[in-house]
Structure 1
Amino acid sequence: MRKTGMTRLAAVACASVLALAATACGTSSGGDDGDGGKADEQQGGFAAPDVPMADAVGEPEGQVNILAWPGYAEDGSTDKTIDWVTPFEKESGCQANVKYFGTSDEAVQLMKTGEYDVVSASGDATLRLIASGDVAPVNTELLTNYGDIVDFLKDQKFNSVDGQMYGVPHGWGANLLMYNTDVVTPAPTSWGAVFDGAADYAGKVTAYDSPIYIADAALYLMKTQPDLGIEDPYALDADQLAAAVDLLKAQKENVSEYWSDYLKEVQAFKSGDSVIGTTWQVIASVAQGEGAKVEAVLPEEGSTGWSDTWMISSQAENPNCGYLWMDYITSPKAQAAVAEYFGEAPANAKACDLTSDKSFCDTYHATDSAYAEQIHYWTTPISQCLDGRTDAECTDYGDWTTAWTEIKG
């Protein structure tokens, strides 16, 4: 795992398209994507646009245009031993034309062109794609591997509308709290260590560089300041957002660096420039493999996290090959390969029998529903409050992007 994780991390760091380290996760920390909250508002009460759904998979068109996070569609060009695209091409007769993207905002914009058949969308992009009509509902009965996807990733508010799936789950993970075991004692059990207690590690706290990180602060406030009335860290009215912003501004006084390239986070923990902050399991594993004295924990408040979804374009020129790809990439063998290379939990439970590291799925809690229930998966903030409130207007993605710029100064 550490070897493949390090190989993949290095490949990702060199990818020219990246504004963020490639993972299932992340919006840009720049301005609005040109759609932002406006497309979300079109969704209103989750009344998704009327886009037709496929009722059958026909003759393959001969190619499929794939938009993916780096590491999700490897064809051997990065590493000759890492290739699950070529077997798909041989089995399906569909040539895979892969384009990588570096942020969710980039993926949203590229999908608007109609040039791509399928996309591996993170939860901070999925509702925008659904609301704008750029993706179609997915007929899961046409996917032979759908039944093996763990139930806790299905019918979530970031990948479905009114009980209709808009994709097939791919991989997932939690945002964890990593700390230097020599410096941070006793071992932290709460996110309070990087919020209310951040001054104890002044100048050595690190945090994820994205507007979606606001949800981490909101989750902490949800658990520690119930009077704010936060029920969902992605459903914040103006006052709740302001409270999260204040908490993050206070944290900033103690932040050494906001990370997006997680090779840099590994280096920061090795050098001692950072001693505590948010991370992913793969980063902790790589850091430990390189001798850093770190541990990672899921804090008592739970955490935010990601769950990626393969979605099909409403303008797909190759929908049959698109469906064949979505079915293939969620098959046990492909899932095992992607999960180990990428560093995340596979969505298909049967993949756990095929990983080269037999402890991999235990490390990533792949089939642990109780663990997964503690994760608040990234979801696009929209003006329609996702917590069910009808007497309030919530802040949207554009508001969060503006707030993040204010936080960082």
Structure 2
Amino acid sequence: MFMTRGTRISAVAATAIGSIALLAGCGTSSGGSGGGEEAAELGDYEGSVSILAWPGYVEDGSNDPGVDWVSGFEEKTGCEVTSKSYGTSDEAVNLMKTGDYDVVAASGDATLRLIAAGNVAPVNTDLIPSYAGIFDFLKEKDWNSVDGQSYGVPHGYGANLLLYNTEVVTETPTSWDLVFDKASEYSGKVTAYDSPIYIADAAVYLMAHQPDLGIENPYALDEEQFQAAVDLLKEQRAHIGEYWSDYLKEIQSFETGDSAVGTTWQVIQNVLESEDATTDVVLPEEGATGWSDTWMIASQAKSPNCAYAWLDWIASPEVNAQATAYFGEAPSSQEACDYRDDCEAYHAGDAEYASQIWYWTTPIADCVDGRTDVECVDYAQWTAAWSEIKG
């Protein structure tokens, strides 16, 4: 079984308090300048490195003896790895404020918060040889850089797809309308991802179906645009059977027939297919949200040289192939596909496919779509609205 996002972002109100407090102070920032300066050169390894990451990103064989890309790093560099897993992006943001970690693997709904708070430093990618091989469509993007300055190394990526029961939805769908405008046809059997960032999924749909709203980026919503997305999700709420953040629960829900249509990840369909479930997935014509996680270095890292070494190691083709396959996502480079046999299923390296994905990006008051004549709704307000939508 792949180690997948599992209990990833379920940032409901109880876990969002820290984020609200943080964004209240930096919500008008365009991302800030981060903490410290990028390294000009590297020195001797410090002998240890502390890493904060999603489950499945830092495996040393203790969970599965056959899954270990930490030992090789320790042997090569002499940097002993200590790691901690977190369950939500809000948790990661709060943990990074402690200064206890040298490296963090952050999703796009956390990266700009970390940069704005000065918790992570600019990264000199010239000091990371593996960076050169990473897909260009993952580099210098809104969620991992500010004003052309990189703040980390892409890990892998994936799209939030439309999953459907082929016995209930007999014709291959082409639109997200099944979970929005046509949700009443599957009332009680619609499922959606449990996170404030899901508001962006509604915005992606509105971009295509209500163009008069003028949405150019689903993470840059002014008050009117944001309210339209919230209203759409409140309408959808009446037809939701359950919201999910644990991938095992969604698998079970589709196997039992409790769910018939909803948002998902490719790895979930892979598991369902292996168990002969009557399901399939599609990337709808409107496009989709998705993720590209970023390895970032703490601005006050105690072991910056070992931190740089880890970023290079985890982005190297063979290691990146192991880590992203175990987690269930596309790797960050074409060379990594030499060590995987499932890149086609994940559309790895397909730039046209990737261009249809709106990667999670922290909503901030300074609109990430470039508008300066309005203020956009920041993540704190997204979190508050999500509680209202579900309530």
Q: TM-score range by the shorter chain?
A: over 0.9
Q: Return the letter of the residue paired with 1:372.
A: A
The equivalent of 2:321 in structure 1 is 336
Query: Which among 361, 366, 370 is matched to residue 388 of structure 1?
Result: 370
The equivalent of 1:28 in structure 2 is 11
The equivalent of 1:160 in structure 2 is 145
The equivalent of 1:368 in structure 2 is 350
Q: Return the letter of the residue paired with 1:385.
A: C
Q: Tell me, what secondary structure is at the counterpart of 1:361?
A: coil
Q: Return the letter of the residue paired with 2:179.
A: V
Give a deviation string over 1:81-110, Cα, whole Å, max 9, x none: 111111110011000001001110000011
CA distance in 2, matches of 1:324, 1:332: 14
The equivalent of 2:215 in structure 1 is 230
Query: Which among 199, 210, 224 is matched to residue 214 of structure 1?
Result: 199
Query: Which among 53, 59, 83 is matched to residue 74 of structure 1?
Result: 59
The equivalent of 1:241 in structure 2 is 226
Q: Return the letter of the residue paired with 2:46.
A: E
| Conserved? CA contact 1:74–1:85, under 8 Å | yes
Q: Return the letter of the residue paired with 1:29.
A: V
| Conserved? CA contact 2:28–2:364, under 8 Å | no
Q: Tell me, what secondary structure is at the counterpart of 2:27?
A: helix
Aligned: 1:288 with 2:273? yes
CA distance in 1, matches of 2:224, 2:352: 32
Q: Quick one: percent identity of the two aligned structures?
A: 60
Query: Which among 230, 238, 257 is matched to residue 242 of structure 2?
Result: 257
Give a deviation string over 1:288-321, Cα, whole Å, max 9, x none: 1122110000000000000000000001000000
Q: CA shift at 1:39, angstroms?
A: 4.6
The equivalent of 1:83 in structure 2 is 68
CA distance in 2, matches of 1:49, 1:338: 27
The equivalent of 1:142 in structure 2 is 127
Aligned: 1:266 with 2:251? yes
Q: CA shift at 1:55, angstroms?
A: 1.1
CA distance in 2, matches of 1:96, 1:403: 39
Q: CA shift at 1:373, angstroms?
A: 0.4
Off by >4 Å, runs of 4+ in structure 1:
none
| Conserved? CA contact 1:119–1:312, under 8 Å | yes
Q: Return the letter of the residue paired with 1:187.
A: T
Query: Which among 329, 332, 342 is matched to residue 347 of structure 1?
Result: 332
Give a deviation string over 1:178-232, Cα, whole Å, max 9, x none: 0000111222110011000000001000000000000000110011001111111
Aligned: 1:41 with 2:23? no
| Conserved? CA contact 2:220–2:368, under 8 Å | yes
Q: Return the letter of the residue paired with 1:386.
A: V
CA distance in 1, matches of 2:113, 2:349: 28
| Conserved? CA contact 1:69–1:120, under 8 Å | yes
CA distance in 2, matches of 1:102, 1:49: 24
Q: Return the letter of the residue paired with 2:27.
A: E
Q: CA shift at 1:366, angstroms?
A: 1.0
Q: CA shift at 1:30, angstroms?
A: 2.3
Query: Which among 250, 260, 266 is matched to residue 275 of structure 1?
Result: 260
Q: CA RMSD in A?
A: 1.3
Give a deviation string over 1:138-176, Cα, whole Å, max 9, x none: 000000100000000001011001101000000110000
Q: CA shift at 1:42, angstroms?
A: 5.2
The equivalent of 1:116 in structure 2 is 101
CA distance in 2, matches of 1:39, 1:346: 35
Q: Return the letter of the residue paired with 1:75.
A: D
Query: Structure 1, unaligned stretches of length 5 or more?
Result: 10-19
Give a deviation string over 1:302-347, Cα, whole Å, max 9, x none: 0000000000000100000000001000101111101211100011
Work out the number of aligned pairs and report it: 388
The equivalent of 2:174 in structure 1 is 189
| Conserved? CA contact 1:63–1:96, under 8 Å | yes
Q: Tell me, what secondary structure is at the counterpart of 2:301?
A: coil
Q: Return the letter of the residue paired with 1:159.
A: N
Q: Tell me, what secondary structure is at the counterpart of 1:364?
A: coil
Q: CA shift at 1:47, angstroms?
A: 4.3
Matches within 5 A, 1:99-114: 99-114=84-99
| Conserved? CA contact 2:162–2:263, under 8 Å | yes
CA distance in 1, matches of 2:306, 2:71: 14
CA distance in 1, matches of 2:262, 2:217: 22
Name the stretch that deviates more: 29-38 or 234-243.
Answer: 29-38
Q: Tell me, what secondary structure is at the counterpart of 1:86?
A: helix
Q: CA shift at 1:21, angstroms?
A: 1.9
CA distance in 2, matches of 1:282, 1:61: 37
CA distance in 1, matches of 2:11, 2:223: 22
Q: Tell me the TM-score normalised to structure 2 length.
A: 0.97
| Conserved? CA contact 1:40–1:127, under 8 Å | no
